[in-house]
């Protein structure tokens, strides 16, 4: 099976200058993701799960190791050493990242944020507007919220907006950091259905989930991470 992502010996250390102390977050992580595959990561709080995803998305720069991504735009490249320009392009055109935390330009409404995601993926403005509305409706974000700035949204509303933004462009590689945290059961099912649809359309995914039941039938493989390493 062709791989979209090959991770070798990935480690991330943080140095806390004030305390002159080092935290080893994840250590010597190696795994590969098949094209169109779905890997689940589970583990206790603080084990290093989010750090692995952030090193792939390059929010964190790995201390050691490589993250070889088979991109459409540049062929195979190491996301650890890729240029800022390449990373920005890949985030726009090929990669999606969902977490509970909102990362949005100031003075951008919820609707515009999702439209921007679709525009990044190459849709015309008209198509992007239509797709954005479909996604916002799908994730049951109340219409009253579409044209306001989302910094005051609740945790669940922010998460649903992040899901709409990431999924509207059907990315090649989707990274999910607890995409169902603080969602009710009905919305969790909607998320699962859309993830299954994206998978059937070829999106490759890595997801962190606390809710093991949620992952049933969705993941091809599940890795357990404990104290920074796979076990
Ligand atoms: N920016 C940072 N600076 C310093 N330490 C960090 C930073 N980010 C993560 N850590 C530390 O790395 C370790 C792993 O954190 P990480 O967020 O990856 O855990 P997690 O498994 O995702 O936890 P949770 O399930 O609670 O979200 C923790 O001890 C955390 O305090």
pLDDT tens by residue, the chain, 231 residues: 899 999 999 999 998 888 889 888 889 999 999 999 999 999 988 889 999 999 999 999 999 999 999 999 999 999 999 999 999 999 999 999 998 787 777 889 999 999 999 999 899 999 999 999 999 999 989 999 999 999 989 888 988 999 999 999 889 999 999 988 878 888 888 889 889 989 999 999 999 988 878 888 899 999 999 887 887
Candidate from 50, 60, 182 with most ligand 1 atoms within 8 A of CB, to mutate: 50
DSSP state, residue 55 = H
Torsion over CA: 101, 106, 108, 114 (sign): negative
Whether residue 29 contacts residue 10, with contact meaning beta carbons closer than 8 Å, is answered with yes
What confidence score (pLDDT) does residue 168 get? Answer: 93
Rounded distance from Cα 96 to ligand 1 centre (Å): 20
The closest residue, in CA terms, to atom 8 on ligand 1 is 51
Domains of the chain: 1-17+24-89+174-179+203-231 (3.40.50.300), 95-170 (no CATH)
What confidence score (pLDDT) does residue 181 get? Answer: 84
Strands 221-226 and 229-230: antiparallel
Residues having CB within 6 Å of any atom of ligand 1: 14, 23, 25, 43, 45-51
What confidence score (pLDDT) does residue 42 get? Answer: 93
What confidence score (pLDDT) does residue 215 get? Answer: 82
Q: Please, what's the b/e burial string for 168-181 (b: 16 or more CB within 10 A of its CB; e: otherwise)? A: bbbbbbbbbbbbbb
Rounded distance from Cα 50 to ligand 1 centre (Å): 7
What confidence score (pLDDT) does residue 28 get? Answer: 93
The closest residue, in CA terms, to atom 17 on ligand 1 is 50
Rounded distance from Cα 52 to ligand 1 centre (Å): 10
Q: What is the rounded distance in angstroms from the CA atom of residue 229 to the CA atom of residue 191?
A: 28
What confidence score (pLDDT) does residue 57 get? Answer: 96
CA 186 from chain centre, in angstroms, equals 21
What confidence score (pLDDT) does residue 104 get? Answer: 75
Rounded distance from Cα 134 to ligand 1 centre (Å): 34
Q: What is the rounded distance in angstroms from the CA atom of residue 231 to the CA atom of residue 228?
A: 9
The closest residue, in CA terms, to atom 14 on ligand 1 is 48
* Ligand 1 atom closest to residue 225's alpha carbon, by position in its atom list: 21
Strands 221-226 and 38-43: parallel
Task: List the structure tokens of 61.
Answer: 């720069």
Q: Which of 124, 130, 193 lies closest to 163 in space, CA to CA?
A: 193
CA angle 102, 152, 129 (to 5 degrees): 65
Rounded distance from Cα 32 to ligand 1 centre (Å): 22
């Amino acid at each position: 099976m062709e791989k979209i992502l090959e991770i070798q010996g990935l480690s991330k250390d943080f140095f806390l200058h004030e305390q002159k102390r080092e935290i080893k977050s994840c250590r010597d992580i190696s795994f590969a993701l098949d094209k169109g595959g779905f890997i689940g990561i589970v583990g206790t709080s603080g084990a290093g799960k989010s750090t692995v995803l952030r090193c792939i998305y390059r929010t964190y720069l790995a201390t050691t190791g490589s993250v070889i991504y088979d991109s459409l735009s540049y062929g195979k490249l190491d996301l650890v050493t890729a240029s800022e320009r390449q990373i920005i392009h890949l985030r726009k055109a090929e990669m999606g990242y969902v977490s509970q935390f909102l990362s949005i330009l100031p003075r951008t409404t919820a609707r515009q944020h999702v439209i921007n995601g679709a525009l990044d993926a190459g849709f015309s403005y008209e198509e992007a507007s239509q797709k954005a509305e479909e996604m916002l409706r799908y994730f049951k974000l109340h219409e009253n919220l579409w044209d306001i700035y989302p910094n005051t949204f609740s945790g669940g509303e922010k998460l649903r907006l992040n899901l709409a933004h990431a999924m509207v462009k059907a990315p090649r590689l989707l990274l999910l950091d607890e995409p169902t945290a603080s969602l009710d059961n009905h919305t969790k099912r909607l998320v699962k259905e859309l993830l299954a649809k994206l998978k059937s359309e070829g999106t490759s995914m890595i997801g962190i989930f606390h809710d093991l039941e949620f992952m049933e039938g969705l993941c091809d493989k599940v890795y357990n991470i404990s104290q920074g390493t796979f076990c």
